[in-house]
Structure 1
Amino acid sequence: MQEPSAKIQLEKPKGFIRLLNGIERIGNRLPNPFVLFICLALLCIFISWLVHAFGVSVIHPGTGEEIFVKSLISTEGLAFILGSAIDNFVSFNPLGVVLALMLGIGLCQKIGLFEAAIKKTILGAPKAIITYAVLFIGILGNIASNGAYVVVPPLAAMVFLAVGRHPLAGMAAGIAGVGAGFTANILITDFDALISGISTDAAKTISSDIVVTPIDNWIFMSVSVFVLTITGAFVTERIIEPKLGAYKGNGQEEAISAVGPLETKALRNTVISALIYIGFVLICLFIPNSPLRNEDGGFIPSTFLDGITMFLLFFFLTIGITYGVSVKKIKNSGDVTNSMVEGIKDMSTFIVLAFAIAQFIAYIQWSNLAIWISVDGSELLKSINFTGFPVIILFVLLTAVLSLFITSGTALWSVLAPVFVPMLMLLDFHPAFIQVAYRVADSATNMITPLNPFVAIMLVFITKYDKKAGLGTHISLIFPYTIAFLLVWIVMICIFGLFGIPVGPGVDMYLK
């Protein structure tokens, strides 16, 4: 594969392109996420000293206690910084959950299960529903993390070309599904675990009893898969394809390689093992007096929900081992371990980043800056009568803008959650609902910002079918999906909120 710079010819900047070029210039001046959080931690230290000097305090809304902002530049503060660094890191909520899940998800990635499943589904789709299949699989592709970016879009382009449709329309649908629909899924992924852990840490500023679990957005995100699939298909067939017109070809198109009989048999075995595992769990859940339910026989809360991470881990291990044995990539227990190790290696960047994020969150909470900003911020919003849905919609729009500059969903939420989760909780919003508002905005703009490294990779794919393509070409293909997905998601948020539809099991818009 050529380097992106070798193939990309940027078009003459116009209008929206100039705006994005400006975003790129500003964003490129930001430090990498690890350094960014170190800088934020240092800023937190300075601000705590400054605010403490003025004797600022607030009344804690839960306990009624007067809380003073504490300085991190003090004997007590220095003792906390030096003495708690390791504890901050080890107790960082998402760390253990994400690494545990990646033992299973990483195994599935390394043995090729996700790639084979994506390829088989798209290639096997009837012509009439190819667009829907591309978007559906692209959206679900985030289970394979970033691997979906380099599998779904180019494969979608080849499938569209094979049935006489413009390959760039297929490419656009694939990019939109994988990128703009990144956060939606029917399955629980490592991202659900990661982001819910950050939300839980932020919510503790107001209440130590509230825990946001990886399944607390499951209903909303599952519905989103189907809504975005239909929306994306409409955009593809009614906007993108008419805009592109007929494809004339350039003689360099690649042929599609089908999934082999061994992989097909392995996928069949994997589906069977998945159904057996799910059936076993359901039997355990619904047997009389099941220990997985609570004392009243319910599921919220329950031992099952408390242990959902382990149930998901064993699910991915079950299907991963089944597929690996079937394709003869797993011949002994050592092969399983080695694949799991390779999967964890891919999380090394997150582990490094988690250390810096954990310190920043710990500093802003210990100093009481988070509770001070949250209480005063919520009081200001109440004083101007800016509550309810308007404040949620404003938060969505703010996030959509900020995600153009900070492309890591984890990093941006780690910046926003310590302030906005407590603040909006004081307006009675449930932290899991606030998390939904963040996720939809961050995902929608995921693939139009030049700061996303996968934009350059997508441009390489695009130029295989259009030699003159540049950043403007990419944006013109993806921007309609960004707007459509964001609008549809905002409407969904309003519907879920107004009609009291839970965004996850037992999770409504407001705190009970």
Structure 2
Amino acid sequence: MTNKTDQHNNIGFTRFLNAIERIGNKLPDPFMLFVTLAILVVLLSGFISLFDVTFSEPGSADQISVKNLLSAEGLQFMVTSVIENFVGFAPLGIVLTMMLGVGLANKVGLLETFIKNTILRAPKALVTYAVIFTGILGNLAADAAFVIVPPLAAMVFYNVGRHPLAGLAAGFAGVGAGFTANIIVANTDAVLSGISTEVMQTIEGAATVTPVDNWYFMLVSTLFLTVAGGLVTEKIVEPRLGQYEGGLTKEFAETTSQEKKGLWNAALAAVSYIALLVLVLVWPDSPLRNEEGGMIPSPFISGIVPVIMLFFITIGVAYGVTLNKIENSRSIAKYMGEAMKDMSGFIVLIFAVSQFIAYFEWTNIGSWLAVTGASFLESVNMTGISVVVLFILLTAILNLVVYSGAAQWGLEAPVFLKMFYFLDYHPAFIQAAYRVADSSTNIVTPMNPYFVIVLAFMKEYDHKAGIGTLMALMLPYSMVFLVVWILLFLAFVLLGIPFGPGVGMHV
């Protein structure tokens, strides 16, 4: 009886996801979709401006109005900012910079050989969990992880006879939905705690927040999310996808002795590069550390993308030279150029995406929606843990509109940290609640600029895939991660487990 019930539930959930995919795929091509969204923002800003909507950000008395793109000022902005919106769009520079290195390593065949000789030899039962875990740890490389992990995960799954889109989804889930978790203190901890401390300084004698105040919770979260992501992949996503029947005919051949030699030389180059990097970092008064000698924040963390790019160039050259694929400097430029050609569709798409996001930010519509939602929750007269759970759910919804974690916390912290502090909640505890919500819905919002990048990777395996396909793949991860994370959050509360050194639920 139980098996029949479970089967019925699985069929129902599969139909639900299929419906989402059908509806989503009726949307226009991603390029035209964002063109349409940009036009809608223009019209919406004109409509809202008729009502003279004004608001003030928490902690500021300055009145901010929703600006009209149909006004003279708005038209001037749209005409004069097109190029700046495009070339100044952060993901564009990150992705293209990363692809100079990753693309080189890929074109000379290093990544293919590495997969054959390492990941592919891992026990198949652990592959899924290794992908999720690697994706979560990827936030050490900041947004660069969105470019590295999902496509490599797809390749891994494809080459062990599993559906590549399941691997892509698992990698994207780890990187996106698990973005704020890690087993060590990362840059995210420093950024969010800095905002929290700045807010709490306005209250005399209030507790401050340090980068390690959520460490225990995030460490345990990494392990739980790894298991949850692996189960979602193997029990929900992969069975729904079925057998892969794409047009790819590429198969990995047996590794030659020359390729093995190249892999060893690449490994030696990697060790040498890391050793040199460590030497520079530990050198007295290292310019890559901050003024206090710390690493978070530091020029090294800020420059992690070029550091990773140079790493891949180093190992790619070592491998390419060994296999005589790189004979001179022209060969390096040639392979990099080939990698850039593969990114042409992405560049076209980013043009439309960058204009839409720039319009959305300039009109202040996003800030208005976020502040309005925050003010509504502040007015709710509740003092129990349920209000914190409501705060998590509200933040998860707002994250669909305001993607940037730091920007959203900058809007919410001045209201919610103070409100909960007066209810005797520790500010680091509320910050942890925010982080649960901020990551969970990253993978189902088109406001995530890397959403369209992952979609481009997906189309390599399924040319018919659309936004609905990706959303249907990622929705189970988003829902399960949010539920599991909330339950883990409540378990810490009920069991009295500290969220960080000396940090509990109350001040």
Q: TM-score range by the shorter chain?
A: 0.5 to 0.7
Give the secondary structure class of the aligned counterpart of 1:312.
helix
Give the secondary structure class of the aligned counterpart of 1:288.
coil
Contact 2:366 2:401 survives alignment (8 Å): no
Contact 1:357 1:414 survives alignment (8 Å): no
Instruction: Identify the match of residue 317 of structure 1 among 306, 310, 313.
Output: 313
The Cα shift of 1:357 comes to: 2.0
**Alpha-carbon distance in 1 for matches of 2:16, 2:132:** 28
**Partner residue in 2 for 1:155:** 159
For 1:272, the aligned partner's letter is L
For 2:309, the aligned partner's letter is L
Give the secondary structure class of the aligned counterpart of 1:325.
helix
Instruction: Identify the match of residue 83 of structure 1 among 59, 76, 80.
Output: 80
**Alpha-carbon distance in 2 for matches of 1:303, 1:353:** 31
Give the secondary structure class of the aligned counterpart of 1:299.
coil
Inter-CA distance 69–130: structure 2 relative to 1 (3 Å threshold): closer
1:170-199 C-alpha deviation (Å, 9 max, x unpaired): x37x7654422434369xx9xxxxxx9xx9
**Alpha-carbon distance in 1 for matches of 2:340, 2:351:** 16
Inter-CA distance 67–313: structure 2 relative to 1 (3 Å threshold): same
**Alpha-carbon distance in 2 for matches of 1:49, 1:122:** 53
**Partner residue in 2 for 1:105:** 102
**Alpha-carbon distance in 1 for matches of 2:21, 2:369:** 30
Unaligned runs of 5+ in 1: 1-12, 158-170, 190-195, 208-216, 244-253, 400-411, 461-474, 503-507
Structure 1 residue 45 and structure 2 residue 27: aligned? no
1:102-134 C-alpha deviation (Å, 9 max, x unpaired): 111111122222222122114434xxx441146
**Alpha-carbon distance in 1 for matches of 2:321, 2:119:** 24
For 1:20, the aligned partner's letter is L
Contact 1:89 1:354 survives alignment (8 Å): yes
**Alpha-carbon distance in 2 for matches of 1:272, 1:27:** 47
For 1:334, the aligned partner's letter is R
**Partner residue in 2 for 1:131:** 125
1:282-316 C-alpha deviation (Å, 9 max, x unpaired): 11111111122122212223222222222111111
The CA RMSD over aligned residues, in Å, is 5.0
The Cα shift of 1:331 comes to: 1.7
Inter-CA distance 85–138: structure 2 relative to 1 (3 Å threshold): same
**Alpha-carbon distance in 2 for matches of 1:179, 1:269:** 32
Aligned residues: 411
1:33-69 C-alpha deviation (Å, 9 max, x unpaired): 2212211211111121111111111123354211122
Give the secondary structure class of the aligned counterpart of 2:44.
helix
**Alpha-carbon distance in 2 for matches of 1:480, 1:72:** 37
Inter-CA distance 26–65: structure 2 relative to 1 (3 Å threshold): same
Contact 1:59 1:65 survives alignment (8 Å): yes
Instruction: Identify the match of residue 64 of structure 1 among 54, 57, 61.
Output: 61
Once the two structures are overlaid, the 10-residue window that deviates more, 280-289 or 264-273, is 264-273
**Alpha-carbon distance in 1 for matches of 2:42, 2:398:** 25
**Partner residue in 2 for 1:7:** none
**Partner residue in 2 for 1:392:** 392
1:438-494 C-alpha deviation (Å, 9 max, x unpaired): 554455999xxxx9798899899xxxxxxxxxxxxxx9x999988766655555677
For 2:376, the aligned partner's letter is L
Inter-CA distance 255–415: structure 2 relative to 1 (3 Å threshold): closer
**Alpha-carbon distance in 2 for matches of 1:19, 1:371:** 32
Once the two structures are overlaid, the 10-residue window that deviates more, 177-186 or 35-44, is 177-186
**Alpha-carbon distance in 1 for matches of 2:58, 2:478:** 38
For 2:391, the aligned partner's letter is V
1:436-455 to structure 2, matched below 5 A, reads 437=437, 439-441=439-441
**Partner residue in 2 for 1:326:** 322
**Alpha-carbon distance in 2 for matches of 1:59, 1:320:** 51
Inter-CA distance 74–154: structure 2 relative to 1 (3 Å threshold): closer
The Cα shift of 1:495 comes to: 8.2
**Partner residue in 1 for 2:142:** none
The Cα shift of 1:373 comes to: 1.7
Instruction: Identify the match of residue 342 of structure 1 among 334, 338, 341.
Output: 338
Instruction: Identify the match of residue 114 of structure 1 among 111, 118, 143.
Output: 111
Give the secondary structure class of the aligned counterpart of 1:30.
coil
The Cα shift of 1:15 comes to: 2.4
The Cα shift of 1:346 comes to: 2.4
Instruction: Identify the match of residue 179 of structure 1 among 166, 169, 172.
Output: 169
Inter-CA distance 225–265: structure 2 relative to 1 (3 Å threshold): farther
TM-score calculated relative to the size of structure 1: 0.64
Contact 2:105 2:316 survives alignment (8 Å): yes
For 1:179, the aligned partner's letter is A
Contact 1:140 1:225 survives alignment (8 Å): no
Give the secondary structure class of the aligned counterpart of 2:172.
coil
**Partner residue in 2 for 1:17:** 14
1:221-257 C-alpha deviation (Å, 9 max, x unpaired): 99877656655777899x79xx9xxxxxxxxxx9984
1:295-310 to structure 2, matched below 5 A, reads 295-310=291-306
**Partner residue in 2 for 1:259:** 255
Once the two structures are overlaid, the 10-residue window that deviates more, 51-60 or 293-302, is 293-302
1:280-299 to structure 2, matched below 5 A, reads 280-299=276-295
For 2:282, the aligned partner's letter is F
TM-score calculated relative to the size of structure 2: 0.65
**Partner residue in 1 for 2:93:** 96
**Partner residue in 1 for 2:421:** none
**Alpha-carbon distance in 2 for matches of 1:276, 1:368:** 48
1:403-457 C-alpha deviation (Å, 9 max, x unpaired): xxxxxxxxx78879899666545555899996874554455999xxxx9798899
1:185-196 to structure 2, matched below 5 A, reads none
**Alpha-carbon distance in 1 for matches of 2:265, 2:475:** 40
